[in-house]
Structure 1
Amino acid sequence: MIKNILFDFGDIFIDLDKMATFNELVRLGISEFTEEMMLFNQQYEKGLLSSEEFIDFYARQFPQATKEQLIDAWNAIILSFPERRLAWLEHHALHGQLRFFLLSNTNALHITKVKERMTLARYERFRSCFERFYLSHEIGMRKPDVEIFDLVLEKNDLIAEETLFIDDTKEHIDAADKLGIKTWNLIPGQEDVTELFIRKRDLF
């Protein structure tokens, strides 16, 4: 029986346009993400670079773009957070018997944009629904690295087989599966987190 749920954030609760950043960068003359860019992106997600260092890197690669344009492009991925999802989460956090945790790969610029899009009051309502709130750039780890799952399990005395991990990225799901964590690879646009207790009723 499931007693704990680890939720991803993007495309689970807040909607994303995963092509938006790339499309905006194309307009600025950036045609592809190089291996070096991908490495910088991952380092930034782990909090190993400041936002200033991160944007300075891209500004050096593409001097034709202003820093403001680069920040806007980076944040273009962030869309809206439907109120129905927040209401669903608040209801089950208040009335349910499950332990809720957030486990998200993100970064400082995106979180700032999320707060702006949601409003700070709604963001704090969201955050208060979780026992612990794990953001990759704050803890120096990112999915799908096994260490981030081990951290959550060990720090909170969770049993893998009693824990459900919900994420829209197959690579992250596969990593959790290997540890014996139950998983739901949610497909955005086809499934919704508010359907959890219908789609996964066999686990509860």
Structure 2
Amino acid sequence: YDLMTEIFEMKCTMEDFKRAWNSTLYYFFDDAIENIKMLKAKGNVVLLSNTNELHYERFEPESRDILPLFDAYFFSFQIGMRKPDYEIFRYVLEKMKFDINKTIFIDDSHVNIESARRLGLNVFHVKKEGLSEFIKYLNDFSKE
């Protein structure tokens, strides 16, 4: 807050700053709960989010129904790394003891997808339509 208000010469209260900062929050896709449950039937589901502490404070209470669905979750501000830095992917793979060849990274950012792909992860770019498209892809893939 102090650094931002100094750099941008802003005159606002901390509460005003938090409200403006949190307005940039992204939430889960509408079909997230249903699709996370379907994905869990096929394997582990882990959340890796570029989240700062202010967003987490706002996001966490509203996510109490969805966070327990994940086998684990990693927030960038807690681990000191952010996507697309490939070290964050290595960190999660190591912590979860996942085989990179049996892991699929799903994200809505092309930059994050390309970083994960360069590391050797299987990747899928999910669009605003949500995970339904990926579920279909995964079902078709598992039939082959």
- TM-score (ref. length: structure 2): 0.84
What do you get for the CA RMSD once the two structures are aligned? 2.1
Q: Which residue of 2 aligns with 1:110?
A: 55
The secondary structure found in structure 2 opposite 1:99 is coil
Task: Kindly indicate whether the alpha-carbon contact (under 8 Å) linking 2:100 and 2:121 is maintained by their aligned counterparts in 1.
Answer: yes
- Structure 2, unmatched stretches of 5+, are none
- Structure 1, unmatched stretches of 5+, are 1-54
Alignment partners' CA distance in 2, 1:74 and 1:203: 40
Alignment partners' CA distance in 2, 1:154 and 1:81: 25
May I ask how many residue pairs the two structures share in their alignment? 141
- Note closer, same or farther for the CA distance 1:84–1:176 as it changes in structure 2 (3 Å cut): closer
Structure 1 residue ranges (4+ consecutive) displaced by more than 6 angstroms after TM superposition: none
- Does 2:133 align with 1:195? yes
Q: RCO higher in 1 or 2 (8 Å CA, sep ≥ 6)?
A: 1
Alignment partners' CA distance in 1, 2:85 and 2:29: 30
Superposed displacement of residue 64, structure 1: 2.5
Q: Answer with 76-85 or 138-147: which moved more.
A: 76-85
Alignment partners' CA distance in 2, 1:101 and 1:158: 11
The secondary structure found in structure 2 opposite 1:128 is helix
Superposed displacement of residue 159, structure 1: 1.6
The secondary structure found in structure 1 opposite 2:97 is coil
Superposed displacement of residue 80, structure 1: 5.1
One-letter amino acid matched to 2:135 = F
Q: Which residue of 1 aligns with 2:124?
A: 184
Q: Which residue of 1 aligns with 2:36?
A: 89
Pairing of 1:54-133 with structure 2 (within 5 A): 55-61=1-7, 62-78=9-25, 81=28, 84-90=31-37, 92-93=39-40, 96-116=41-61, 118=62, 123-133=63-73
What percentage of residue pairs aligned between the two structures are identical?
Answer: 30
Task: Kindly indicate whether the alpha-carbon contact (under 8 Å) linking 2:46 and 2:73 is maintained by their aligned counterparts in 1.
Answer: yes
- TM-score (ref. length: structure 1): 0.61
